[in-house]
Amino acid sequence: MPTNAPLAATNLYKHYALQGKQINVLCGASFTTSPGESVAIIGRSGSGKSTLMHLLGGLDKPDAGKVFINGQDLYKLSERKRTLLRAAQIGFVFQAYHLLPEMTIAENVILPAMALGKRSRKEMMVRAEMLLERVGLSNRLNHKPQELSGGEQQRAAIARALMNEPPLILADEPTGNLDTVTGDHVMDLLFELTRERNTVLVMVTHNPETAARCSRTLTLNDGLLV
């Protein structure tokens, strides 16, 4: 498996202890991506899709196996370097929007850039305003998350994910909390924005129509991707 791919996972294993029993969630899951590719990951509820996404994004450690982001072995990095790599090279879009309620929408969007510390606040806000205009929220810059609809909050989360122009977007059920029409609009936007920059999109979805729009679909079954 080429380790210089935008994202490559090799033989990922993960288990949890539950009521004295070992629950094997991932049992050697492997896959690799190509630049500009969109990959849908499907599977029954409880099959480990979110666990897999957390491992791919460096949010949790596998019991065994490796994840490579553009050739870098994610779990050989120190915690600090892994945090910086996440901020620079991975954009996250979750089912729950994870916007900080005490901050404005614009302030939420600049958070990934603040983590890198390479731009002035003025530069960050200029980019945030551009992104929010791109996702149709130019009139919501100074609103708090609770003042926005679910669809608007998810669009803001997409803008935040794109703040540092990452080569990889990980989206975990990004429309799970939205009605069908709003969810379709959000997916249209996500596909459009990732295509524009030839970004790799890896997405967990339960929607077969959304999965069909991706370059390919992988099914997580018995801890393996097929």
For the chain, the structural domain boundaries read 34-61+77-225
pLDDT reported for residue 4: 73
Region 4-15 average pLDDT: 93
pLDDT of residue 3: 60
pTM listed for this prediction: 0.93
Sorting pLDDT into bands at 50, 70 and 90, what band is 58? very high
Q: What is the pLDDT at residue 20? A: 86
Q: Using a pLDDT cut of 90, give the percent of the chain over it.
A: 87
> Looking at residue 209, what DSSP letter applies?
H
Question: What integer best gives the mean pLDDT of the chain?
Answer: 93
pLDDT over 70 (residue 2): no
What is the per-residue pLDDT across 91-138, written as a single tens digit (0 to 9) for each?
A: 999 989 999 999 999 999 999 999 998 899 999 999 999 999 999 999
Distance CA 102, CA 51 (A): 29
Q: Give me the half-sphere count of Cα atoms (radius 13 Å) on the Cβ side of residue 30.
A: 9
What pLDDT is attached to residue 18?
85
CB 93 within 8 A of CB 143: no
What CATH number labels 34-61+77-225?
3.40.50.300
For the chain, the residue count is 226
